[in-house]
């Protein structure tokens, strides 16, 4: 399902609608070019999960953890070279308790759980503020939430 | 001889002090099946300090440091193995590495048939090893393996022998194994975490036989491997 947003505020509102559906153990795989707004999306979703402290890009720390209503982990794999490094970060253990966001996650898809939310953010050549956000819920973990997700995205798209 | 033992392969943080007569102090923080966040990094050093204080010894009195090497939680093992290495390096004493699966199996050495030690590997998988009771201990009859509960169950069905299963891995998938037939028994939560008494006993015996290594030789057992490079198509552009 695809929603077009205009500006960071709308992208974060969309992300908040998605974030409200997330549970510990969920993985959100974010893809999109540099500057597309992956971190912006995480900020909006994290706020909906009760994270009050500022969410910053984990490009250099690789993993940032936040305490919200549920713990949130924000992972950026851009600086990794080997899939093994994701295991070495303790990625599997983050899934015990956290909602986990993985920027550039499509690059490490082979070692991510099969059940996941895929968020692809595309730039628009004609409009610097516009973003095309394509969201797909993959796997049985989403079976009972797919309808709610569709409704949330429709509402967010209609409001935007 | 004074031995410090550390095991952090599960959520449980375990510290033991022992001499040739046996355990002096044992500290366990958090259960292996606890839902609370693990606190290996926060708890381990204070637990060691408290154990030494209660025993009236200082780290300088240690003859060796023993450590459970997993397989198990990456974050926990890194804290445990690094602490063991750093202490041993600073004190100029050897390290005795013992796989944590062995520490689960050893207390069940009086069982008839097979003993199968398991540790939760996450991602719906577990680590396991199959042991057989022999006089004075257990003998490992498999490699240190990683796989799905169904794979382990199939292996046990193929072996067809009575088997006693222990560890937090099997507790997590209890229903899979309790349906495996009468020859499979699941040990309860008392056998969920690697035994610190076993660590003290096994490590003391190995220390006496000089089966130890230098700090830099000790590594955790990492069974989950992904050797591929990440296929970055945007990075080199």
In order of their start, the domains of chain A are 2-159 (3.40.50.300)
Which pLDDT belongs to residue B236?
Answer: 44
- Predicted pLDDT of residue B227: 82
Taking any CB pair shorter than 8 Å as contact, residues of chain B touching chain A are 37-38, 73-75, 78, 121-123, 222, 224-232, 234-235
Is residue B54 domain-resident?
yes
Task: Say whether B74 and A90 touch across the interface (CB within 8 A).
Answer: yes
Q: Is residue B131 part of a domain?
A: yes
Contact A87/B230, CB-based, under 8 Å? no
What is the predicted pLDDT for the residue at B237?
41
- Identify the residue among B78, B82, B125, B226 best suited for mutation to test binding to A, counting A beta carbons within 10 A and taking the highest: B226
**What does the buried/exposed string (b/e) look like for B23-45 if buried means 16 or more CB atoms within 10 Å of the residue's CB?**
bbbbbebbebbeeeebebeebbe
From B33, which residue of chain A is nearest by alpha-carbon distance?
A96
Give ipTM to 2 decimals: 0.78
Alpha-carbon gap: B78 to the closest alpha carbon of chain A (Å):
9
* C-alpha atoms less than 13 angstroms from C-alpha of B180 in its C-beta half-sphere: 28
**Residue B76: which domain range?**
2-99+195-217
* Strand B2-7, strand B64-68: pairing: parallel
Q: Both B137 and B176 in a single domain?
A: yes
> Which chain A residues touch B231 with a CB distance below 8 Å?
107
Tell me, what's the pLDDT at A160? 47
CB contact A77 to B (< 8 Å)? yes
Distance CA B11, CA B15 (A): 13
From first to last of the 237 residues of chain B, give the pLDDT tens digit: 999 999 999 999 999 999 999 999 999 998 877 777 788 999 999 999 999 999 999 999 999 999 999 999 999 999 999 999 999 999 999 999 999 999 999 999 999 889 999 999 998 999 999 999 998 899 999 999 999 999 999 999 999 999 999 999 999 999 999 887 778 999 999 999 999 999 999 999 999 999 999 999 999 999 988 888 888 876 544
In a domain, B157, yes or no: yes
CATH classification at residue B82: 3.30.420.40
Among B191, B207, B232, the domain boundary falls at: B191
Q: Are residues B12 and B94 in the same domain?
A: yes
Cα pseudo-dihedral B104, B105, B111, B113, rounded to 10: 140
Let me know if residue B226 belongs to a domain: no
Q: Is A92 on the interface with B (CB under 8 A)?
A: yes
Q: Which of B114, B62, B116, B123 is nearest to B89 (CA)?
A: B62
The parts of chain A modelled with pLDDT lower than 50 are 160
Residues B6 and B35 in one domain: yes
Q: Name the β-bridge partners of B140.
A: B131
Same domain (yes/no): B91, B153 = no
Contacts of B171 (CB under 8 A, 6+ apart): B33, B186, B189, B192
**pLDDT single digits (tens) A71-93:** 999 999 999 999 999 998 889 99
Q: Could you say which DSSP state residue A57 is in?
A: -
Inter-chain touch A77–B230, beta carbons under 8 Å: yes
Identify all chain B residues contacting A111, using CB atoms and an 8 Å cutoff: 226
B132, B19: one domain:
no
Residues B167, B125 within the same domain: yes
Question: How many domains does chain B divide into?
Answer: 2
Same-domain status, B177 and B131: yes
> How would DSSP label each residue in A69-119?
SSEEEEEE-TT--BTHHHHHTTHHHHHHH-EEEEETGGGGGGGS-SSEEEE
B181 and B208 inside one domain: no
Instruction: Report the pLDDT value the prediction gives residue A159, as an integer from 0 to 100.
Output: 56
B118 and B201 housed in the same domain: no
Strands (E), chain B: 2-7, 13-19, 22-29, 64-68, 95-98, 114-122, 125-134, 137-140, 145-147, 163-166, 184-186
Whether A107 and chain B come into contact, CB under 8 Å, resolves to yes
Quick check: is B234 in a domain? no
Q: Is residue B223 part of a domain?
A: no
- Which among B74, B122, B229 has CB closest to A82? B229
Structural domain contains residue B237 = no
Residues B174 and B202 in one domain: no
Q: What is the pLDDT of residue B121?
A: 94
Is the residue at B53 inside a domain?
Answer: yes
Residue B8: burial class (beta carbons within 10 Å; 0-12, 13-18, 19+) = buried
B172 and B200 share one domain: no
Inspect the interface and report whether the beta carbons of B228 and A82 lie closer than 8 Å. yes
Asked if the Cβ–Cβ distance from A84 to B227 is below 8 Å, we say yes
CA of B224 vs chain A CAs: smallest distance (Å): 7
Is pTM beyond 0.90? Reply is no
Looking at the fold, whether B200 and B91 belong to one and the same domain comes out as yes
| Chains A, B: CB pairs < 8 Å | 54
């Amino acid at each position: 399902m695809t929603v077009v947003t205009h500006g960071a505020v709308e992208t974060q509102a969309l992300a908040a609608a998605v974030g409200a559906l997330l549970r510990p153990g969920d993985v959100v795989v974010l893809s999109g070019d540099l500057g597309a707004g992956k971190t912006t999306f995480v900020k909006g979703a994290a706020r909906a999960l009760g994270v009050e402290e500022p969410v910053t890009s984990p490009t250099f720390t690789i993993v940032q953890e936040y305490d919200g209503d549920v713990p949130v982990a924000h992972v950026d794999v851009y600086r990794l070279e080997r899939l093994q490094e994701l295991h070495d970060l303790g990625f599997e253990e983050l899934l015990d308790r956290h909602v986990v966001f993985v920027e550039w996650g499509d690059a490490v898809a082979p070692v991510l759980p099969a059940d996941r939310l895929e968020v692809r953010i595309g730039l628009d050549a004609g409009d610097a503020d516009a973003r095309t956000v394509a969201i797909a819920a993959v796997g049985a973990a989403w079976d009972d939430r797919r309808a709610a997700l569709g409704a949330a995205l429709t509402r967010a798209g209609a409001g935007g | 001889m004074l031995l410090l033992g550390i095991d952090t392969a599960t959520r449980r943080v375990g510290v033991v002090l022992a001499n040739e007569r046996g355990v002096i102090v044992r500290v366990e923080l958090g259960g292996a099946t606890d839902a609370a966040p693990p606190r290996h990094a926060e708890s381990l050093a204070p637990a060691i300090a408290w154990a030494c204080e209660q025993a009236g010894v200082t780290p300088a009195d240690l003859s060796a440091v023993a450590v459970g090497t997993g397989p198990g939680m990456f974050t926990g093992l890194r804290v445990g193995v690094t602490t063991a290495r750093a202490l041993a390096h600073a004190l100029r004493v050897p390290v005795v590495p013992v796989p944590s699966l062995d520490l689960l199996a050893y207390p069940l050495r009086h069982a008839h048939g097979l003993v199968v030690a398991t540790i939760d590997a996450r991602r719906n998988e577990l680590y396991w090893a199959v042991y057989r009771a022999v006089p004075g201990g257990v003998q490992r009859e498999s490699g240190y393996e990683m796989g799905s509960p169904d794979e382990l169950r199939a292996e046990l069905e193929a072996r067809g022998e009575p088997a006693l299963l222990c560890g937090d891995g099997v507790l997590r998938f209890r229903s899979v194994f309790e349906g495996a037939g009468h020859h499979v028994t699941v040990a309860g939560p008392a056998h969920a975490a690697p035994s610190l008494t076993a660590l003290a006993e096994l490590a003391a015996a190995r220390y006496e036989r000089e089966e130890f290594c230098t700090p830099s030789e000790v590594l955790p057992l990492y069974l989950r491997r992904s050797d591929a490079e990440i296929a970055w198509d945007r990075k080199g552009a």
